[in-house]
Amino acid sequence: MKTYKTEFKGYLDDLAKKAPTPGGGSAVCVVFCIAVSLMEMAIQYSLGKNKKLKEHLGQLQKLKRKVYPFIDLDGKLFNQIMKSKDSSRQKLLKKSEELIVELGRACLGLLSLAKKAESGIKKSIISDFYIGLGLGKVVLAGCIFNLEANSRMFGSKNKYIKIFKKSLKSWPK
């Protein structure tokens, strides 16, 4: 078995520093990718001849590929926001919010896929599936927190806060 603590240590050390990036936005992107990976593993173990699970696996992989670049992009945008002024700052803030909204929407896609795939997951691996699902809830809550923080910091209220809160309440398990 490979060991990962050395490779991941740099990110964790940077996350712990008294610096704005990486921060919560980057962290929830990492957690999203971990959530999807756990669900992918559960589906891989459960595939057999289930064509629907194969479709779900492909959709999960697509979601992860979409979000993965956000891990670094969130911090880059935040750094640019903090250095910018007036109209430039507002444009960058909008991009940052769009990134968090896209992450939240990816979480909603994860929820939808989880509901469809759950019954096909082998019981011997269902705990990993549920851990991934639980991490997805954490990510959606993180999106809400980020959007609310932006609202307080920059005075703009995002309509997705209500949508994500409602979805979080209906999330299974």
pLDDT, tens digit, 9 for 90 and up, residues 103-124: 999 999 999 999 999 999 999 9
Nearest CA-CA partner of 59 in 69, 67, 70: 67
Q: Is 163 part of any domain?
A: yes
**Are 104 and 143 spatial neighbours (Cβ–Cβ below 8 Å)?**
yes
Structural domain for 69, as ranges: 24-170
| Number of structural domains the chain divides into | 1
CATH classification at residue 78: 1.20.120.680
For tokens 């240590």, name the residue: 9
In a domain, 17, yes or no: no
- Alpha-carbon gap, residue 105 to 148, rounded angstroms: 16
173 vs 84, higher pLDDT: 84
pLDDT per position as a tens digit, 123-153: 999 999 999 999 999 999 999 999 998 888 7
pLDDT over 70 (residue 172): no
Note whether residue 16 is domain-resident: no
The segment with the largest mean pLDDT, out of 7-11, 13-17, 31-35, is: 31-35
Contact 128, 35 (CB under 8 A): no
**How much is the pLDDT for 85?**
83
pLDDT at 101 over 90: yes
Higher pLDDT, 28 or 149: 28
What mean pLDDT is reported for the chain?
91
104 lies in a domain? yes
12 is a domain residue = no
DSSP secondary structure code for residue 120 in this structure: G
Confidence of residue 53 (pLDDT cuts 50, 70, 90): very high
Whether 84 has a pLDDT exceeding 70, the answer reads yes
Q: Does residue 119 lie within any of the structural domains?
A: yes
| 47 half-sphere exposure, CB direction, 13 A CA radius | 9
